[in-house]
Amino acid sequence: SIPLSFFAGIGGASKEGVLVKGSNYLEALSEAKYIVFDKTGTLTKGVFEVAGIHDAVIPEDKLLEYAAYAESFSSHPISRSLCKAYGKEIDQTRVSDVNEISGEGVTAVVDGTSVAAGNIKLMKRLGIECKECGSVGTVVHVAVNGSYAGHILISDQLKPHTKQALEELKKLGMKKLVMLTGDAKRVAESVAKEVGVTDVYSELLPADKVSKVEELLEKKPVKEKLVFVGDGINDAPVLSRADIGIAMGALGSDAAIEAADIVLMDDDPLKISKAIHISKKCIRIVY
C-alpha cells in the first residue's frame, strides 16, 4: 500500500506546478544525487535571436531567406528564430525534399536549389568546408548548391532562475551537476561556467546523450539516483533512461511529457529543488 503522505506529497508538488506521475518517483527523488541537464530549452530559454550574419558569399538577406525556407517545416527553437528573423510570410510550396537531422540541422530544396543549414557536424557529413566563427553563440552554417554560403550567429539566454536553481541543488547536497548538449564546445563551456555546472559534455547527438547517461548510471551507487532534466526536443530517449526523467511541460514536446516521470508545468528550473525538498519531507514522515 502507498503511505498517505505520498498522496500529500504529490498534491503539494502539483500545487507548485510539479506533476509527479507516481509515488515511486517521489521516493526516488528524495535520493537524488546526480542532476543531468540538457542545455537548450532547459537551462536556457530556447528562444534564439539572430545576432549576426558572417562570411556570406551571397547577399545576406538571400542567405537568411534560404535558411528560413529550409527550416520552415521544423519546430526546433533554432528554426523558429530563423523564420522570425526572416520576418516575411513563407510560401512552403517553394520547399521540397525536407530532411531534418536531429542534433545537426536540416537539408531541403528551395526553389530547385539544394540548401543545408546546421552545425559543423552536418557540414562535415556533406563534405562542405566551413569557416570557423569567432564569436560565442550558436552557429547555423548554410550551404547552397553544395558550396559554403556563410553562417548565421544566433544567441540564446539563460532562464531567469537557472543560476539560483543550481545553487539550491548544491545546497541540497547533489554530488554532480552535469550538462549535456548538442551545441558547440565554446557555447556549452561559457553557459556551464556562467551557471556553475561542474561537468559539461558538448557536441553530442541524441544517442550520445543516452550513452553518457548510461555511463554515469554505471559509475554511481544504486542508492544514489540520477535525474535527467530536458525539454524533450531530441531528448525523449534519455528522459526514459534516467532513474528519474523531468521534462519541461510548457516548451517541451508531447513525446517528452509522455517519456518523463515528472513534468514542470511552467519550465522553471527552480522547481527541481522544490520537488526534491517536498520528496525529502514526505520520506521523513513515512519512515
> Could you list the residues that contact ligand ADP (CB under 6 A)?
38-41, 71, 74, 76, 78-79, 103-106, 117-119, 138, 140, 181-183, 233-234
Q: Which is nearer to ligand ADP, 29 or 36 (CB)?
A: 36
End-to-end CA distance of the chain: 14
| Residue 71 touches which of ligand ADP, Mg ion, none (Cβ within 5-8 Å per kind) | ligand ADP
Q: Which is nearer to Mg ion, 38 or 243 (CB)?
A: 38
Does 38 help bind Mg ion (rule: CB under 5 A)?
A: yes
Burial 242-276 (b: 16+ CB within 10 A, else e): bbbbbbbbebbbebbbebbbbbbeebbbbbbbbbb
Say if CB 248 and CB 45 are below 8 A apart.
Answer: no
Nearest Cα to 84, choosing from 116, 54, 47?
47
Q: Which is nearer to ligand ADP, 119 or 279 (CB)?
A: 119
CB of 76 to ligand ADP, least distance (A): 4
Does 105 help bind Mg ion (rule: CB under 5 A)?
A: no
d(CA 251, CA 268): 11
Say if CB 44 and CB 200 are below 8 A apart.
Answer: no
| Residue 43 touches which of ligand ADP, Mg ion, none (Cβ within 5-8 Å per kind) | none
Closest chain position to Mg ion (CB): 40
- CA dist list (Å): 144 to 13, 54, 149: 50, 15, 6
Query: What 3-state DSSP class applies to 183?
Result: coil
d(CA 15, CA 24): 19
**Binding to Mg ion, residues 52-71 (CB under 5 A):** none
CB of 2 to Mg ion, least distance (A): 33
The site map against Mg ion for 208-247 (x = CB under 5 A) is -----------------------x-x--------------
CB of 104 to Mg ion, least distance (A): 14
Considering the candidates 38, 243, 261, 268, report the single residue annotated as catalytic.
38
The residues, ordered by sequence, that sit 6+ positions from 1 with a Cβ below 8 Å of its Cβ are none
Number of residues that bind Mg ion (CB under 5 A): 5
Closest chain position to ligand ADP (CB): 182
Q: What grid cell was written down for 218?
A: 554505471
CB of 102 to ligand ADP, least distance (A): 7
Q: Which is nearer to ligand ADP, 166 or 233 (CB)?
A: 233
Does 103 help bind Mg ion (rule: CB under 5 A)?
A: no
d(CA 261, CA 90): 38
CA 161 to chain CA centroid, nearest Å = 16
Question: Residue 38 catalytic?
Answer: yes
Q: Which is nearer to Mg ion, 27 or 268 (CB)?
A: 268
Length of the chain: 287
Q: Which is nearer to Mg ion, 115 or 166 (CB)?
A: 166
Q: Which residues are catalytic?
A: 38
Question: What residue ranges bind Mg ion (CB under 5 A)?
Answer: 38, 40-41, 231, 233
